[in-house]
Amino acid sequence: MPESIPLTWEEVARVYGRKIYNFAYRLTGNSDDAADLVQEVLLRVRKGLASYQPGSFEGWLWRITRNAFLDDVRRHNRRPTAPLPEEVDRWDLASSPAADIEYSRISIGDDVQKALLELPFEFREAVVLCDIVGLSYEEIARAVAVPVGTVRSRIHRGRKLLRESLT
């Protein structure tokens, strides 16, 4: 993953636009929401690049993407449909604004996509960032603002739930 900052937001759009779109699509199963998110994220990147401090660009970008996604969820006041399983630790719930937020719309018939949409948000987000976007656990931890151990746990539990859902 490149750690240096792209020169312009156009370059961010060119390099990351499709990944952002796929992230949003796999999280929502909805192409309109995904398209809206891409535009919102690029708008925020455009505003934020001037004050960007060199560091983990991936972490910065995906934090923006995640926040834009969650803001959209809040704005549309979507109701939770798949609460977190009981074994999820309370620290996670307290630290994340998305713990009780879920998308309920399923717009494609694909089994894997459908199973993804049935996952609790945190697990789905971790799996998508890992397997669709291709981030490392460290990068996911920065983007989501949780310890790497939590990322590890969410990805594994998410995959186990997917397995149950697909069999």
Partner 1 sequence: MNHPGELISAYLDGELSRPEIAQLLAHLDGCGRCAAELQEVQTVRSAVRSLPLLEMPAGLIPEADADVVPLHRNKGFLVGAAAAVVALVIAIAALVTPAAGTVSLEELNSRYGARASLDPAFGPAKVVVPDLAELLE
**Where does this chain touch partner 1 (CB under 8 A) — which range of 48-56, 80-88, 97-105, 159-167?**
159-167
Instruction: Indicate the angle between helix axes 31-48 and 9-28, nearest 10 degrees.
Output: 150
* Interface pattern 32-71 for partner 1 (x via CB under 8 A): ---x--xx--x-----------------------------
By C-alpha distance, which of 129, 121, 115, 108 is closest to 81?
Answer: 121
Residues 36, 13, 117, 75: what is their CA dihedral angle, to the nearest 10 degrees?
-30
CB of 136 to partner 1, least distance (A): 7
State which residue, 14 or 79, has the beta carbon closest to partner 1: 14
Round to whole Å and give the CA distance between 117 and 81. 10
Widest CA span of the chain, in angstroms?
A: 48
Residue 56, Cα to own-chain centre: how many angstroms? 17
**Where does this chain touch partner 1 (CB under 8 A) — which range of 54-62, 65-73, 75-83, 105-113?**
105-113
**Where does this chain touch partner 1 (CB under 8 A) — which range of 21-29, 47-55, 57-65, 69-77?**
21-29
Among 18, 74, 76, 79, binds partner 1 (CB under 8 A): 18
Q: Which residues bind partner 1 (CB under 8 A)?
A: 9-10, 13-14, 17-18, 21-22, 25-26, 31, 35, 38-39, 42, 110, 112-113, 116, 127, 130-132, 136-137, 152-153, 155-156, 159-160, 162-163, 166
